[in-house]
Structure 1
Amino acid sequence: MKPAQARILLTGAAGGIGREAAAAFSRAGAAVLLAGRTPARLSALARRLGAEPRVSWAAADLQDPAQIERLADTAAQWGCNVVVHAAGTPAFGALAAHDAQAMSAMMHTNLLAPMLLTRALLEHLRAQPRAQVMCVGSVLGRIGLPGFSLYCAAKFGLRGFAESLRRELAGSGVRVQYLGPRSTRTDFNDAQVQAYNRATGAATDEPGLVAAALLRMLEDERAERFLGFPEKLAVRINGLAPTLLDGSFRRHSASLQSPQPTPERITT
């Protein structure tokens, strides 16, 4: 889809990737409906990007199914034809470090909320000449990494959702896509994750690179794209022979610190 034809609902718009994506879409000529939990941050971002009707915003807590429904209604009335699921919350550490409540909240934000929002908008999207559902996942939706068992579970699920729905909607005007960035330099990754990345030699990208990839996917409508090397190679190997890579992650396991509860942080 050409950006000038796109009316994009962007969740997680005030987060690191969200802000860059909003700016990239807006510069390219798309209309953007910014969604997140904090009205002040959303309104400030909207003012920086431009005036209505090309840029608007709507506050919603994706932990609340009723607010998801209201956001879907707002987006439909606004004329949305693209949904970008960029909201997310991290979860790093050994499994024993996570309490049940935080685990549930994290899975809801990263997996169930995109599913609920897509379902709520699906009838509207199918009525459009062309529409796109873009899921911002991670390379960890294809590669299970020590220290990220919970996060990987959510992103594996999101990728599976995108793949299944893409096939379910084949022949319709709705394209479903999945973008898998590698670690990105934003507040999403706390000091523990940054130390882990240094210890394991993991590369980190700027959020602008992810935003550029999202804009490219809007235009070329590619079903899946993963970012970074050797991550893209590892995705292929892991898909063909998952156990072949098991021994490659001993350094990652050894780099995990003693289990400590990870505070919830939601990108909005």
Structure 2
Amino acid sequence: MQLKDKTILLTGATGGIGEALALRLVKQGATLVITGRNADKLQRLQARILANGGRCRSVVADISLEAGISIVAQEAARVPQVNMLINNAGVSDFIEFEDQSAERIRCLMEANVTGPMLLTQRLLPQLRIQQGMIVNIGSTFGSIGYPGFAAYCASKFAMRGFSEALQRELADSPMQVLYVAPRATRTTINSSAVESMNAELGNRMDEPDWVAEQICAAIIRRTPRVYLGWPEKLFVRINALFPALVAVSISKQLPIIRKYLARQNT
């Protein structure tokens, strides 16, 4: 697939992966409609794209809210040639589940699951006409439950299930659904406690530019499912077949994880 003839709606464009992905997509010749909650960051990114000869429109919206979904859907309707939706927006929360408030859980699920699903539903008729593509950005934690990320894991497991079901539901149409699952990435979604914990545990964190490059490659190759990072992609397979083995390995990490959970929430 060539990206130069694509008009792409990208959510979460002001985050680390989102910004890197926007710049890479434009470099490949795509036209962008970018969304995000931070108006200043969004406008700066749009200005940077336009200054370099790219084609870009922006819309400030929070897709965890029904009003935000409507704003984005209305903007997409004004650009009828939109033929790809990349659901990249999301939030994370590193906290013991018993300490996580109902409000924090609700906000996380709305941002990571409900919002992307409802936006996809609103845009689906338009994408069908364009014989388009839906790209859902997941996580390794959408396949491996990990301490301190119970709600986040639940949200990413949900997006993986949504992607798989929608792939199969649309299998008799020209549309495609891709699911790309990065491992830990060096962005502001991860707190300093998470970065320090990963360093102590020896967990690698990828740079946003590399992740964006892999997402673009998956789109160009039309790869339905992609898991990024080694050995995490191996752990995903082992966890699917022998979850008890992975559980034993992670349980050995618990003292370190708890140390950083305590540091995060003091």
Q: Normalization by structure 2: what TM-score? A: 0.94
Q: Is the 8 A contact 2:49 2:55 kept in 1?
A: no
Equivalence for 2:129:
127
Q: Is the 8 A contact 1:93 1:260 kept in 2?
A: no
Equivalence for 2:92:
90
Q: Is the 8 A contact 1:147 1:253 kept in 2?
A: no
Q: Give structure 1 regions of 4+ aligned residues with deviation exceeding 4 angstroms.
A: 258-263
Tell me which amino acid in the other structure corresponds to 2:164. E
Post-superposition Cα deviations, 1:161-211, rounded to whole Å, max 9, x if no partner, equal 000000001121211111110100111111111122122211110001110
- Give the SS at the match of 1:177: strand
Q: Is the 8 A contact 2:7 2:33 kept in 1?
A: yes
- Cα distance between partner residues in 1 of 2:162 and 2:23: 27
Q: Is the 8 A contact 1:99 1:261 kept in 2?
A: no
Give the alignment of 1:5-16 within 5 angstroms.
5-16=5-16
What number of residue pairs does the alignment pair up?
A: 262
Equivalence for 1:106:
108
Offset of residue 53 of structure 1: 7.8
Q: Is the 8 A contact 2:65 2:110 kept in 1?
A: no
Q: Is the 8 A contact 1:35 1:42 kept in 2?
A: yes
Equivalence for 2:73:
72
- Cα distance between partner residues in 1 of 2:205 and 2:264: 24
1:247 and 2:233 matched: no
Q: Larger RCO: Structure 1 or Structure 2 (Cα < 8 Å, ≥ 6 residues apart)?
A: 1
Q: Normalization by structure 1: what TM-score? A: 0.93
Offset of residue 100 of structure 1: 0.8
Equivalence for 2:30:
30
Structure 1 window deviating more from structure 2 (96-105 vs 158-167): it is 96-105
- Cα distance between partner residues in 1 of 2:73 and 2:254: 41
Offset of residue 260 of structure 1: 7.8
Q: Is the 8 A contact 1:146 1:252 kept in 2?
A: no
Q: Is the 8 A contact 1:97 1:262 kept in 2?
A: no
Unaligned runs of 5+ in 1: 264-268
- Cα distance between partner residues in 2 of 1:41 and 1:60: 13
Equivalence for 2:2:
2
Structure 1 window deviating more from structure 2 (43-52 vs 105-114): it is 43-52
Unaligned runs of 5+ in 2: none
Tell me which amino acid in the other structure corresponds to 1:112. T
- Cα distance between partner residues in 2 of 1:89 and 1:225: 21
Identity across the alignment (%): 37
Equivalence for 1:45:
45
- Cα distance between partner residues in 1 of 2:117 and 2:2: 25
Tell me which amino acid in the other structure corresponds to 1:162. S
- Give the SS at the match of 2:78: helix
Equivalence for 1:225:
226
The 3 A distance-change label for structure 1 pair 229 and 100 is same
Q: Is the 8 A contact 1:226 1:232 kept in 2?
A: yes
- Give the SS at the match of 1:50: helix
Equivalence for 2:214:
213
